Amino acid sequence: MKYLRWFGRALRPYWASVTCMMMCHVLLAVCSIAFVYVSKKLVDVAVAMFGGRIVDVGLGLWAIALAVVIVLRILLNALRTYLQTRTEIALKNRLRYNLFNVLMHVRTDGGSRHHSGDVLNRLQEDVRQVASTLAGSIPNLFGTALQFLAAFGFLVYLDVRLALVVVVIVPLGLLVGKFVTSRIRNLTLDIRNSDSKVQAH
| 110-159: pLDDT as tens digits | 555 555 666 676 777 778 878 888 888 888 888 888 888 887 887 788 77
Q: Where are the beta strands (DSSP E) in 95-182?
A: none
Between residues 18 and 121, which one has the greater pLDDT?
Answer: 18
Instruction: Give the least confident one: 70-74, 82-86, 186-190.
Output: 186-190
Q: In which band, very low, low, confident or very high, does the pLDDT at 77 lie, cut at 50, 70 and 90?
A: very high
Q: In which band, very low, low, confident or very high, does the pLDDT at 46 lie, cut at 50, 70 and 90?
A: confident
**Phi/psi at 54 (nearest 5 deg)?**
-90, 130
| pTM of model > 0.85 | no
Q: Establish how many alpha carbons lie within 13 A of residue 37's alpha carbon, considering only the half-sphere containing its beta carbon.
A: 15
Report CA 68 to chain centroid distance, whole Å: 24
Task: Please name which of 110, 125, 132, 100 lies closest in space to residue 195, comparing C-alpha atoms.
Answer: 125
Between residues 10 and 72, which one has the greater pLDDT?
Answer: 72
